[in-house]
Each structure stands twice: as C-alpha cells, then as structure tokens.
Amino acid sequence: MIISIIIITLNESQNLKPCISASRIASQPDSNGYVPIEIIVSDGGSIDDTIQIAEKYADKVVQTTGGRYKQLNLGASVSSGKVLIFLHADTLLPKDALLQILHKFEDPEVIGGGFTKIWGWNPLIKRSRLVNYLMYFWEGFGNWTVQLIKSFPGDNAIFVRKHVFEDLNGFKPLWICEDFDFSRRLSKLKGKVICINSPVKTSARRFEKFGFLKTLFQWFVIYWLWSAGTSQAMLRRWFSTYHEFTARPVDNTYLWF
C-alpha cells in the first residue's frame, strides 16, 4: 500500500529538507523492509529556495496560490497512494509513523485520524519557568483533547484513506480552520477516526516569534469564533496577517507574552 505524504509549503527553505528526511526515515522503520511512499510538495507561492529544495528531494512538486486548502487539495489530486498524510513543512513524523498508520488501517472500519504532538523549541530561546510550566500543561491538554474529540489541527499530521478524502470532496475553500472543518466532517462519517499516540514534532516558531500567551490567546479566539459560525470574511478581516508568517531570528528573549 503506497502512502502519499503531502507537504504544504510557503517559504519553507529552512524546514523542508528535515521534513522530507524524517518522512524518508519513517518509510524505513527497520531492517526488515520499507513502507512504499511518495512525497509530494504542494507550494503556495514561495519566493525563497523552497521549490529548488523540493525538486531535489521530493517525488512530485506542484504549485498554486490562494490558500492552504488549494495546496492540500492539489497535492491530493496528483497522489497515487491509497493513504494520504497531510503534513506541514515544519512538522516531523516519528520513525514509526507509517507502520502505526498501516497497522491501524488493518481494521477496515478505520477511515483516518491524526497524531499527538510535541513542540520543538529553538535551543537558543530562553524560557521562564512559567512558560515551561504552561508549555507542559498546553502540550498535555492539547494531546488529551485531540484524543478525546478527534479534531486535529493541521500540524498534527492528518491522515485519511484516499477514497474517504474523495468522498468528502477534500478540504473546503476556507481561508482558515480548513483542518478543523475537515476533521469535523471526517468524524461524522461512518467509521473510526483514531489518534495515534506517537507524537509528531512541530516547530514552536510562532510561540518564539509572537510570545507564548499571545499565540495561545489568538488560537483560542480564532477557533471559538470559527466554531460559533463566524464567516471566513470576518475572520480574514480580523486576522489578516495570520498566514503571513516568517520566523524571526533568535534573540534569546524570555517568552512571557
């Protein structure tokens, strides 16, 4: 069974190669063989070296503009695998990720799911004891939540059987929260949605750039506004710069706010 790993990128020259490398390692979990995969990079208009890196290390490279949902759907449209994994470029799969997925899919009732998550901090960033405590709590709370309600952010490496993805008509044309919307629709189908407790490692760069508490507050506001039915136009107006993200240089600041 081929697994298609779809990596979405936008100016990810620093993160793409490690992401692809971790995916390749996950396809060779032990000396007994390998899991057949294809790595598809779906780019959203990068102006750095992302495309050159993708063309060197990925199996397929596609490009589009106008939103992450387009990147996700375009990547899926050129895939040949029976299983799709949607991966952010700053997220690393654990070594056993693909074996875990194949094992879970031995149950024909399993239709998709996601992983738990840990955060990868830049070692040069200083964190206060308060931030360390809050980070520990947030990580645990987040993983408990996704295991309970099976609603996965995009950086939790959402995976799904391809025919199920097609039945759902992919990701909806949403400016934000396309990942939660997909998870919600997936969970309403007949079948099991699972959470694999073998965490992916995702970058903490948004915390590092904007501060821990500010980032959490923004995420909560966006999620609950979306859950309450706020229109995409209003969300885009209020959080217009959310996707315009570039990691700042490390400055050794304490992350209180």
Give the percent of the chain with pLDDT over 70: 93
Side-chain half-sphere of 223: how many Cα atoms within 13 Å?
13
φ and ψ at 224, to 5 degrees? Answer: -75, -30
Q: What is the pLDDT of residue 254?
A: 47
Boundaries of every domain in the chain: 3-124+151-204
Q: What is the pLDDT of residue 89?
A: 97
pTM of the entire predicted model? 0.92
Which amino acid, one-letter code, is at 247? A
- Distance (Å, rounded) from C-alpha 206 to C-alpha 155? 12
> Residue 31: which pLDDT band, with cuts at 50, 70 and 90?
low
Q: What is the pLDDT of residue 199?
A: 96
Say if residue 49's pLDDT is above 90: yes
Other CB atoms within 10 A of residue 139 CB: 15
Partners of residue 84 on adjacent β-strands:
4, 160
Please, what is the average pLDDT of the chain? 92
> Residue 241: which pLDDT band, with cuts at 50, 70 and 90?
confident
- Distance (Å, rounded) from C-alpha 8 to C-alpha 68? 7
Q: What is the pLDDT of residue 163?
A: 98
Say if residue 250's pLDDT is above 60: no
Q: What is the pLDDT of residue 256?
A: 45
Side-chain half-sphere of 175: how many Cα atoms within 13 Å?
17
Higher local confidence (pLDDT), 34 or 201: 201
φ and ψ at 137, to 5 degrees? Answer: -65, -45
What average pLDDT score do residues 24-37 get?
83
Say if residue 255's pLDDT is above 80: no
Cβ atoms of residues 84 and 76 within 8 Å: yes
Say if residue 251's pLDDT is above 60: no
Say if residue 214's pLDDT is above 50: yes
DSSP state of 30: B
- Distance (Å, rounded) from C-alpha 131 to C-alpha 109? 41
Among 27-36, 57-66, 135-144, 167-176, the minimum mean pLDDT is found in 27-36
What average pLDDT score do residues 99-105 get?
95
Say if residue 94's pLDDT is above 70: yes
Pinpoint the alpha helices (H) of the chain: 16-26, 50-57, 68-77, 97-104, 129-149, 162-167, 178-187, 205-210, 212-227, 232-238
Angle at the Cα of 14 from the Cα atoms of 10 and 19, rounded to 5 degrees: 80
Domain 3-124+151-204 part of CATH 3.90.550.10: yes
> Residue 247: which pLDDT band, with cuts at 50, 70 and 90?
very low
> Residue 127: which pLDDT band, with cuts at 50, 70 and 90?
confident
Kindly report, residue by residue over 133-171, the tens digit of the pLDDT.
Answer: 988 999 999 999 999 999 999 999 999 999 999 999 999
